[in-house]
Structure 1
Amino acid sequence: METVNDKKVAGNMILYDDVLTILPEGVKAVSVESYGTSAWSQTGRINATDDKGTQTSYFLKYVSDEHGEPQLKGEYTGMLELYNTAPQITPKPYGWGRVTSEPCLYFYVCDFIPLTHAMPEPVKLAKLIADLHKTSVSPTGKFGFHLPTYDGWQPQEVGQWDDSWTSCFARLLKGLWELDAKMNGNWVELDSAMETTLAEVIPRLIGILERDGRSIKPCLIHGDLWETNIGTDATTGNIYIFDAAVYYAHNEMEIGIWRVNHHMMKAKIYRQEYAKQFQKSDPVEEWDDRLKLYGVKTKLMYSAGVPGGANIRQQVLEDLQDLIQKYGRKHTDPGTTESTDPVTVNGNTEAAISDDRE
């Protein structure tokens, strides 16, 4: 059934006047139609003509509820950061805003690109993402972002700048653990494993990347880069990324999601091809364990945000227990007997590793 709004734009979605103000000058909307599916939003395609009469299209997203404002502000700001860094793989964002005629409705608009959702070609994708990571420059030289970004409807604790990736990641993971507990209830075994991970595993497994002369470049990452958020242009074959949850991070954080079992991109070839384009951080032999830890972030997001997703908590617990066995208090850093520095999150020291190791 078609509807017509005040601007006489036909279609099966409402195209509010506030959205029209975001479109480029000279563009006239002709129709709007539902396009795609989303668990957290309503999405559509605006069909239009530009000032020369050429047909063009734009992607439209509506989000209601109170999280709509920070969610779409974060998406627009993050996608603009991606577009300014890697326009060849990012649909151009035009803006976001509030629908003033509705009590709690927000929108986001970007270029519409006809995409297929076949699995991306591994070699091409690896080079594009590695190039994004290599060429990106944090505006502060720090990790995080200048405002919160969202993974789906879920906020990420990345909306501040941090000198240390170790503490930035610890804060992010701690926030997701708390969100998962809020949504699914506390689980004693998981709570214990998370406390040990924050106190011992992260300072050792991640902290080692930032000491003994080592350093990490803050890289701009998409933040939720799995097959559903990657598409291939049906006409040109170009790969595009979208629906981002960006922040500046250790580059390997991007591909931890490619190790998670419930994603098709768990195929090793994606990680292997990326490693050919971007050298593994030292210690190289701990690369896969770092990806396992980074993948816990994705699993906690899934557990907290997807109906029935709590089943994945068992995998989170098993991953953490395996990492604790390798990098917990009894583990000594390669070639040294020095203790690991404590991780500070939100101004509080989560825990310190004792100098007296067993």
Structure 2
Amino acid sequence: MKRNGRLIVGLVIILLLMLSTACAGKNTELNKSGTASGDSGNSNASVSDKQRVVKSLKGDISIPSEPKRVIGLSVVYPEFLYALGVTPVAVQNYHQEFPSYLKEPFKNTLKIGLAETPNFEMILTAQPDIIIAPIWWADKDYDQLSKIAPTVLLPQRDNWRDELRDIGEVLGKKDQAEKVIQDLQHKEAEAKEKLHALVGNETVMYMMIMADGLVIYGENIDRGSFIHKKLGLKPVKDFPQTELSVTISLEKIPEYNPDHIILQLDDESSEKVQNRYKELIDSSLWKNMTAVKKNQIHIMGGKEWFSLGMSPLADYNAVSDVLHAFEKKAK
């Protein structure tokens, strides 16, 4: 019996040793995979690989290293994001429909409108990993936005190229931002050469029909600079150089009398805009203008040109629009 008792005790000890070894091995494997508690240093290293710190006007912000769900607030930030290869999950929108160059890529993007105060509930519904916005647009809403997701506020810039570079810095896409800028410069230079061959020294006036008036853009404002400086189309000589734009009455238009008119309707769906357009084209003053008599009126879409001079995508597509319009009239 004593011998049997010793044998039993021995077997129990062996079993206990086997169980202990198995548990230790299991814990080691779990720690390697990061799914169980263990060395806190390893766990922190894993987290830090998924996060990085970027600079913002509110200080350093920790964001996901590779954010998948991004929101860019203001009407042009979504265009910057897409130019950098990022499709935003939600956008603030001025028009009900997206411009043609964003219609397909943004087909699943949530529209949250353009109220003075953002729709925080819809932004929360979009489940963003990160929110990016210019400080002039979102400073007042920063506290609420940062409760939804890490929010990076960027400085106000006079040139969209600097805005694009800022966003590229945040997303780790600096090289891509520079490529977008260079590609557009190349396209503009090519178009400028073609347009000079088509138009020469004939004058061009860029006019927008708005609900409350008719506006002519000069060469020192973003929109006018794109037409007259980037594409080299000669402005009318009597435009006041001290003004960025001029709101004029129908009776004043013949005073400028250009060879070509680039005509944009601010919002094609607006009844007031459509009524003002009809009043314009039915007027004898309009019909007697040189551009009208030569059939050199080039009509551009409101949605398509809404961000003109403020976004690389809008500018890139507008280059094609202008070339197509002038080539068509030249045939």
Q: Which category of TM-score, normalised to the shorter sequence, fits these structures?
A: under 0.3
* TM-score (normalizing by structure 2): 0.26
Q: TM-score, normalised by structure 1?
A: 0.25
More helix per residue? 2
Structure with bigger gyration radius: 2
